[in-house]
Structure 1
Amino acid sequence: MSQQLQGLDLPAVGARLADVLGDERWRQPSASLITGGKSNLTFRITSDAGTVILRRPPTGRILPKAHDMGREAKVQRGLADTDVPTAPILHEETTSELIGAPFYVMGDVPGYVIRDETPQEFATDEGRQALAWRLADTLAALHNVDLQAAGLTDYGRPEGFMARQVARWTKQWELAKDGEVPAVDELARRLAEGVPTAQADGIVHGDFRLDNCIVAPEQPPRVAAVLDWELSTLGDPLADLGMTLMYWSDPADPVAQMVPSVTGEPGYPDRAALAQRYAAGTGFDLEPLPYYEAFARLKFAAIAQGVSMRAKSGVMGDQEFADHGDVVPTLAEHGLAILDRK
């Protein structure tokens, strides 16, 4: 495989891995860019010593306060002894000296990343339902983590979290947009005016969905690792549930084109059932949930626009992304409809 992957100095990485992992076979690595990621670049590094995963920020211009590799590594280390499955952190590079950006290396957890189709061994009504329950239970486990025991009490500022989130993603939209979309502005305004009171403080993943998990190839289904912690912090846990439900397709939904979803297939429970499973594991009241579902549309609209901006400027490694057209206004209009329905 090529040693010229954008954003990766493979000989330098191989030498560093040989030193920190104590195995000279890492000096002869190969690498591939793992497709599917739309923000931080994720590489699979392979040698006769085994396989590891390297995460680094995208090349080129990035939005403020985004792509902090140190935070991703910290939360995964903190969760290592909890009920939340994560990949083991093997090495963290805190400076840009080696490859032009900080990065970290983690274990390559075997299993499925489920995007376009349900693996055959789970492709029954019972298997699909079991996958859904494992996802909901894993999210509940994350929000039940004892922050003190995990050493993560300083991982964020939960006070005022949702107000800051609305302001942050409104600003990210303003930075990334290439035209006016009145529905986004209206959604942001209404969300800023109606922030609910958090029922608890907890670790918020920020992008929790089925294809950000690795599912072990075994029966019954089991989440082997939760991936992509770049947006994680401390805050209102229902923000995560709102995002998860946005990604959880029901057949009649508007389609978020950037994120394929298998959950509209027969056998997967609907959003309401998934939310109730989560509530049973956390004890949270779901009455304010529509607010968080609407916020998820604002957040994803800003993310979608940011990805489009970076793709057009050629800073997404070897990956290519199409122009997403009407995704942003569709998301915003759906968010407004959710608020109106409430």
Structure 2
Amino acid sequence: MDDAAAAARAEVPGLDLGALRAYLDRETPGLLEGELSARVLAGGKSNLTYAVTDASGTTVVVRRPPLGHVLATAHDMAREHRVITALRETDVPVPVTHACCEDETVIGAPFYVMEHVAGTPYRRATELAQLGPERTRAISERMVDVLATLHAVDPQAVGLGDFGRPEGFLARQVKRWGTQLEGSRSRDLAGADELYAGLTRRVPADQAPAIVHGDYRLDNLLIGPVAPVGAEVDLRDEVRAVLDWEMATLGDPLTDVGLLAVYQQLARLGAGGAMITDVSEAPGYLPLPELLARYAERSGRDVRDLGFYVALAYYKLAVILEGIYYRHTQGQTVGAGFAEIGGYVEPLVAGGLRALKEES
């Protein structure tokens, strides 16, 4: 092995390229050829995502759970693979899936392999500002439209009728995230117990169920031009793929809307820093009232009473970040930017308490 190949292998903790090579040769012969190299894709702070490239330049994406401490029921590769595969024939843009391996002995964890889709996951307002207000508005509109399209998919029609238990979904969500927090809690968190108690008391009645993404936001979408049609290329900024389906299930679609509303407000939490997405601050980005109105128009759903859903979204994000912070303190994270993540948890909890107070 030459020095370049050795360096490529050394840069991908959590992914044994030799074992991956053997698995792909056996399960998907011809998908990749020759020596493999890989790099960790930036952005995700939960599951690990790698771009794996062969000698010819063909690239695929590999997803696996994080290293070390993994919360119960989280990071289910088979579920994520299943929902992406099921949605392939719908109007929801998703990558093509190639393989799913639940045998932890292959690379040390379950994983799946999917198409590498070209596109940009916009995370910063400065990135969108370079496009101008008109393109930024169009991108944020299409983000909303794709969410409404997802929520219109009939789960039974795509083989996902048993993908979740819609009855009692919201009550279970509150309980689940409370349990997850206890599994990662290593310090006192001001207001966390109060927020959990408030959510428990205010669970609304179940909505008509839909396929829920669970972490829908702009930087989980790949934006770019659509494929060539004849001799012409449509250069509009389209949603080319929706990514990061690790929390997808069947349930109340307004949980996705509440979470999108929280992502809209993160830049104003006061925590700041590169870990907090601030795309909603870009000129032209849909203001929250217009975003909600567009979703209501496209989906036909009532979004007037979102207080509980917004509070639940704040709590969920707080729990997720606390889990990431815990893994960082144990030396089990891969990539940069984790040192500051623990400082965002209490501002998120405070945001959830405000949402419940405003609702009441």
The bucket for the TM-score relative to the shorter chain is: over 0.9
Q: Are the structure 2 counterparts of residues 180 and 120 from structure 1 closer, same or farther at C-alpha, using a change threshold of 3 Å?
A: closer
Which of the residues 5, 15, 18 maps onto 2:22? Answer: 15
Q: Are the structure 2 counterparts of residues 24 and 232 from structure 1 closer, same or farther at C-alpha, using a change threshold of 3 Å?
A: closer
1:53-72 CA deviation, whole Å, 9 max, x = no partner?
00011121211111110000
Q: Are the structure 2 counterparts of residues 25 and 274 from structure 1 closer, same or farther at C-alpha, using a change threshold of 3 Å?
A: closer
Residue 72 (structure 2) aligns with: 64
Residue 103 (structure 1) aligns with: 111
Quote the offset at 1:233 in angstroms: 0.6
Note if contact 2:48-2:66 (Cα within 8 Å) is conserved in structure 1.
Answer: yes
1:73-94 CA deviation, whole Å, 9 max, x = no partner?
0000110111111111011112
Quote the offset at 1:125 in angstroms: 1.6
Q: Which blocks of at least 5 consecutive residues in structure 2 are unaligned? A: 1-6, 226-233
Paired residue secondary structure (1:191) = helix
Q: Are the structure 2 counterparts of residues 40 and 8 from structure 1 closer, same or farther at C-alpha, using a change threshold of 3 Å?
A: same
TM-score, normalised relative to structure 1: 0.94
- Are 1:190 and 2:207 matched, yes or no? no
Which of the residues 6, 9, 13 maps onto 1:3? Answer: 9
Quote the offset at 1:316 in angstroms: 1.8
Q: How does 1:1-342 map to 2 (within 5 A)?
A: 1-4=7-10, 5-23=12-30, 26-49=33-56, 50-117=58-125, 119=127, 123-217=131-225, 219-249=235-265, 252-255=268-271, 257=273, 258-342=275-359
Q: Are the structure 2 counterparts of residues 326 and 314 from structure 1 closer, same or farther at C-alpha, using a change threshold of 3 Å?
A: closer
Paired residue secondary structure (2:38) = strand
1:303-325 CA deviation, whole Å, 9 max, x = no partner?
01000001111222344511334
Quote the offset at 1:116 in angstroms: 2.3
User: Please, what is the CA RMSD of the aligned residues?
Assistant: 1.9
Note if contact 2:266-2:277 (Cα within 8 Å) is conserved in structure 1.
Answer: no
Note if contact 1:33-1:42 (Cα within 8 Å) is conserved in structure 2.
Answer: yes
Note if contact 1:250-1:271 (Cα within 8 Å) is conserved in structure 2.
Answer: no
Letter matched to residue 14 of structure 1: R
Paired residue secondary structure (2:9) = coil
Note if contact 1:86-1:224 (Cα within 8 Å) is conserved in structure 2.
Answer: yes
Q: Which blocks of at least 5 consecutive residues in structure 1 are unaligned? A: none
Q: Are the structure 2 counterparts of residues 118 and 278 from structure 1 closer, same or farther at C-alpha, using a change threshold of 3 Å?
A: farther
Note if contact 1:15-1:26 (Cα within 8 Å) is conserved in structure 2.
Answer: no
Q: Distance in 2 between matches of 1:250 and 1:68?
A: 27
Deviates more, 1:322-331 or 1:191-200: 322-331
Paired residue secondary structure (1:248) = helix
Residue 230 (structure 2) aligns with: none
Q: Distance in 2 between matches of 1:10 and 1:220?
A: 37
TM-score, normalised relative to structure 2: 0.90
Note if contact 1:128-1:267 (Cα within 8 Å) is conserved in structure 2.
Answer: yes
Quote the offset at 1:251 in angstroms: 6.6
Quote the offset at 1:12 in angstroms: 1.6
Note if contact 1:136-1:278 (Cα within 8 Å) is conserved in structure 2.
Answer: yes
Q: Number of matched residues?
A: 342
